[in-house]
Amino acid sequence: MKGLIQYLYEIKLDKAILWCYLIWYVVVVGFHFDPSVKIWINSIGISAVIGTGLMLSVSSSKGKTDHWQAFRLYLMPFCVSSFSALIKDQGFIIFISPNITETIVSVSGCGLFLLLILVVKVFKNKVI
């Protein structure tokens, strides 16, 4: 638990935004999950191709690999392609669901996460 609190205390805005992306994605998948193997296999294939291209574009000659960065570079194309397949013909406006409940759950999830970060940053030194 201490490690999680430390992570939330040190998290920067850019990483918090990426977590919000993931929260939004998980909510949409929860509401629109499709067990069709084709969607998930295609998403894995796209992830492999695009993720490898992204890895090549950010690789350095030092050869040191940031494993979390590599994970994100492969995860993002997977999420984008599966998200796109799941919301096809669902009436989404860019990435906003036409179902207000889904949008409220997504925004609330992200808001609660950001609030948690704020609480940890404000109270960490007072509690620990």
Query: What is the pLDDT at residue 1?
Result: 76
Nearest C-alpha neighbor of 26 from the set 115, 117, 105? 105
- Residue 128 pLDDT > 60: no
Query: What is the pLDDT at residue 61?
Result: 67
Bridge partners (DSSP) listed for residue 96: 93
Q: Which DSSP symbol is given to 98?
A: S
Question: Percent of the chain at pLDDT above 90?
Answer: 81
Give pTM, 2 decimals: 0.87
pLDDT band at 127 (very low <50, low <70, confident <90, very high): low
Q: How far is CA 26 from CA 32, 33, 37, 116, in A?
A: 10, 10, 18, 18
Nearest C-alpha neighbor of 76 from the set 53, 57, 96, 50? 50
Name, in order, each residue with C-beta under 8 angstroms of 32's C-beta and a sequence gap of 6 or more: 86, 87, 90
Query: What is the pLDDT at residue 126?
Result: 67
CB distance 74 to 51 below 8 Å: yes
